[in-house]
Amino acid sequence: MKTKIPIPETKKHHQIKKIAFFGSADVDEQHPVYQEAFKVARYLAYHDRVIVNGGGPGIMAAATQGAESAGGETIAVTFYPKDMPEFEGRSQANHVDQEIKTANYIERMFGLMDNADAFIVFRGGTGTLSEWSTAWLLAHLYYGHHKPLILYGEFWHEIIKVINEYFFLGKRENQVYKIVKDEQQLVQVLTDFEQELAHRDKLSK
């Protein structure tokens, strides 16, 4: 039986249950981004959130390990590639409670979208870029019924600034995400998203 470690009590969230982590597969346990992802997953799992990731190394492993350290539940959406030397694939060191196997990378990515209520995006590479842009697109297309998107790290301000300068984005594309610099801001932003979801549900009744 898993045992939860003591973490200071705060207001629990009620609308967002499963949260997917996106980020680099190439960072190890000594990297600051790995350690941040571990801490965030640990906090969320302690507050009964289910942690979802792609079952690989790096940020994915950090998310699982952080959740497990707090006795939380974990899910991995995976596939086992052939002839893909640049894809990290399944990490046997990433021990999750439930594994959802898919047939290819595209199914895996949309499996991650389907099996989460919200997304947190850390620093990463082209894989993270594809996941972030897909989650962002879906949030725009389903605006009003979309899943929240949290961008973790102050560097996102510069990235979003460049995108808004050179791409044709509307107001709603910039309303479906929030940028946070640390765990404290993430907790507040998650609360804000929870309130938005509750208000949305109230209006739909």
Q: Tens of pLDDT along 178-194?
A: 999 999 999 999 999 98
* Angle subtended at Cα 124 by Cα 13 and Cα 100, rounded to the nearest 5 degrees: 60
The domain spans of the chain are 13-48+64-115+126-169
What is the reported pLDDT for 134? 97
Band of pLDDT at residue 205, cut at 50, 70 and 90: low
Quick one: average pLDDT of 154-165? 97
Helix residue spans in the chain (DSSP H): 32-46, 59-69, 105-114, 126-141, 155-166, 183-204
- CATH C-level class of 13-48+64-115+126-169: alpha beta
CA pair distance 125, 7, nearest whole angstrom = 32
pTM of structure: 0.89
pLDDT, tens digit, for every residue of 54-88? 999 999 999 999 999 999 999 999 998 888 887 77
- Mean pLDDT check: name the lowest of 31-35, 89-93, 131-135: 89-93
Residue 39 has pLDDT above 50, yes or no: yes
- Chain-wide mean pLDDT for the chain? 90
Residue 166 has pLDDT above 70, yes or no: yes
Of 83-87, 89-93, 135-139, which has the strongest mean pLDDT? 135-139
What is the reported pLDDT for 8? 41
Q: Tell me if 75 sits within 8 A of 97, measured CB to CB.
A: yes
